[in-house]
């Protein structure tokens, strides 16, 4: 009962944040001649605010918190935010049926960026902003934002940070977890603001600049245009978004330490193996896709091939999902590389999803050590990365995660394949699990998930949530709350 009490209490705090962004969206609707989304947003904001308020005052505060309770809070906050976030869509109607409204909300808060909308531009401005606001709030992590409004008591911040963020995400920071959370939020706000200003300087409206920067920094990929970023057809806009997406997919603690060095760690962007691996593999993928586009005849000039390849590779390897071209029409070699980019993706401690480059590097290094031991070199049972030792238990837990990750993708593929072709099914499963959004086939960069059946959308939502919380916290919370 105590777990339900504390979960409900902190879910209430998360709803206050959701309500605040609903009011901001309603204000935007009001400024746009009180468009059709104003009343749905105001009603939703009031409902969410009251429910959050009563959840807080109706439950007792708890001084100490276990990590298991932390997992329950994380899961409860995500589910509460996604559920109440669907209310504006549901009230507005149109393409938003009951399941579609929840799908769009879950996709936003998990920063997946998958959509059921066939005509995004038909939405009123207030609802367009709310749609992207869900992604921006989900990008930094709902529980991370909750930490700003709860008591500054150290143990609560420690447990919440431990439950919300993986050990890999915190491995480059040696200070207090409360300060770690503040750093994440500061970096997030700075990247978002700087990106919005830069986009506005390209003569883009403030509304488009703000929504694009929010979507890029949260690595979600929601856009206010039906043809995504291709609508702008501007190389400078592409470059700004590429930088914003790469920063959003890099460990925020490293970004902070690079600009503001910390005595507790000497790590920064320029001396970290994981970042070098990430940037090197992204660069390699860009070169391969560029060559394929150019020599296959898809692009008539090398600069055009490079521009298209750079944007799409960065977009998928950061799990953002923006598009400047219909990748379904690209050569099969390009599609294969982009699918691989959708699997590994960015770094831990960022807003991106996927398996994470940190895990990939650790596994590669451990395999190299295993091969060396098999051919006669000194046998060691640990792997070293950026000065940190990873034991066999660490490697085993990562392999378990990756195995479970791939198993969920297989299950999703089988379920989607009941009505979809294989390319659509497997890419949709990878995209939902990795928070990528667009895949290939019917869910390509210029397509959507509207053709999925109701039960397939429900499965997709579950996969999105599992991918966002990195599987095990959600499973532990379910067992804790409902198990014996």
Per residue in 31-75, pLDDT (tens digit) is 998 999 999 999 999 999 999 999 988 887 776 777 777 788 888
Residue 196, phi then psi, degrees to nearest 5: -65, -45
Q: Does 305 have pLDDT greater than 80? A: yes
Q: What is the pLDDT of residue 152?
A: 46
168: pLDDT confidence band, cut at 50, 70 and 90?
low
How far is Cα 187 from Cα 474, in angstroms, rounded to an integer?
27
167: pLDDT confidence band, cut at 50, 70 and 90?
low
Q: Does 165 have pLDDT greater than 70? A: no
Q: What is the pLDDT of residue 299?
A: 92
Q: What is the dihedral of CA 39, 44, 46, 50, to 10 degrees?
A: 160
Highest mean pLDDT among 111-115, 173-177, 256-260, 386-390: 111-115
pLDDT tens, position by position, 310-348: 999 999 999 999 999 999 999 999 999 999 999 988 888
User: Is the distance from CB of 316 to CB of 338 less than 8 angstroms?
Assistant: yes
373: pLDDT confidence band, cut at 50, 70 and 90?
low
How far is Cα 431 from Cα 440, in angstroms, rounded to an integer?
9
Q: Is 250 exposed, middle or buried, given 0-12, 13-18 or 19+ CB atoms closer than 10 A?
A: buried
Q: Where are the domains of the chain?
A: 1-164
Mean pLDDT on 176-200: 85
- Kindly report the pTM of this predicted structure: 0.91
Mean model confidence pLDDT for the chain: 87
Q: 3-state class of 101 per DSSP? A: helix
Q: Does 151 have pLDDT greater than 60? A: no
Q: What is the pLDDT of residue 146?
A: 64
153: pLDDT confidence band, cut at 50, 70 and 90?
very low
Q: What is the pLDDT of residue 148?
A: 56
477: pLDDT confidence band, cut at 50, 70 and 90?
confident
Helix spans in 58-97 (H): 67-85, 87-92
How far is Cα 449 from Cα 445, in angstroms, rounded to an integer?
11
Mean pLDDT on 396-413: 93
Q: Does 424 have pLDDT greater than 60? A: yes
Residue 390, phi then psi, degrees to nearest 5: -110, 115
The region, left, alpha or beta by phi > 0 then psi within -120 to 50, assigned to residue 176 is: beta
């Amino acid at each position: 009962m105590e777990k339900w009490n504390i979960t409900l209490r902190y879910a209430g705090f998360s709803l206050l944040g959701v309500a605040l962004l609903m009011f901001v969206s309603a204000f935007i609707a009001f400024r746009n001649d009180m468009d059709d989304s104003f009343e749905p947003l105001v009603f939703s904001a009031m409902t969410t605010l009251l429910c959050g308020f009563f959840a807080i005052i109706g439950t007792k505060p708890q001084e100490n918190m276990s990590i298991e309770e932390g997992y329950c809070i994380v899961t409860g906050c995500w589910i509460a935010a996604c559920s109440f976030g669907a209310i504006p869509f549901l009230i507005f109607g149109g393409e938003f049926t009951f399941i579609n409204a929840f799908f769009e909300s879950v996709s936003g808060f998990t920063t997946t960026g998958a959509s059921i909308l066939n005509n995004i531009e038909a939405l009123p401005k207030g609802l367009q902003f709310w749609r992207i606001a869900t992604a921006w709030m989900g990008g930094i992590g709902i529980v991370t934002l909750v930490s700003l409004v709860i008591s500054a008591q150290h143990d609560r911040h420690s447990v919440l940070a431990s439950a919300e963020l993986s050990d890999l995400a915190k491995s480059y920071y040696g200070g207090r977890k409360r300060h770690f959370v503040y750093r994440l939020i500061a970096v997030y706000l700075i990247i978002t603001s700087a990106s919005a200003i830069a986009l506005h300087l390209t003569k883009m409206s403030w509304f488009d600049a703000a929504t694009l920067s929010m979507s890029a920094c949260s690595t979600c990929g929601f856009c206010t245009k039906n043809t995504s970023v291709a609508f702008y057809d501007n190389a400078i806009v592409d470059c700004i978004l590429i930088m914003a997406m790469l920063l959003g997919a890099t460990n925020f603690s490293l970004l902070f330490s690079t600009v503001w060095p910390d005595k507790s760690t000497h790590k920064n962007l320029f001396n970290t193996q994981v970042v070098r691996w990430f940037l090197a593999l992204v660069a390699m993928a860009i070169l391969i896709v560029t060559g394929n586009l150019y020599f296959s005849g898809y692009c008539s000039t090398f600069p055009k091939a490079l521009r298209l390849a750079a944007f799409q590779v960065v977009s998928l390897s950061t799990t953002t999902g923006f598009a400047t071209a219909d990748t379904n029409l690209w050569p099969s070699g390009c599609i294969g590389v982009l699918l691989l980019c959708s699997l590994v993706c960015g770094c831990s401690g960022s807003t991106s999803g996927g398996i994470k480059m940190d895990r990939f590097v650790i596994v590669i290094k451990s395999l190299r050590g295993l091969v060396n031991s098999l051919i006669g070199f000194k046998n060691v049972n640990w792997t070293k990365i950026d000065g940190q030792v990873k034991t066999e238990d660490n490697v085993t837990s990562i392999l378990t995660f990756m195995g479970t990750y791939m198993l969920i993708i297989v299950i999703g593929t089988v379920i989607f394949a009941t009505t979809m072709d294989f390319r659509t099914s497997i890419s949709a499963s990878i995209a939902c699990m990795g928070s990528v959004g667009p895949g290939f086939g019917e869910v390509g960069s210029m397509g959507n998930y509207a053709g999925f059946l109701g039960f397939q959308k429900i499965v997709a939502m579950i996969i999105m949530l599992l991918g966002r919380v990195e599987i095990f916290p959600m499973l532990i919370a379910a067992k804790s709350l409902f198990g014996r």
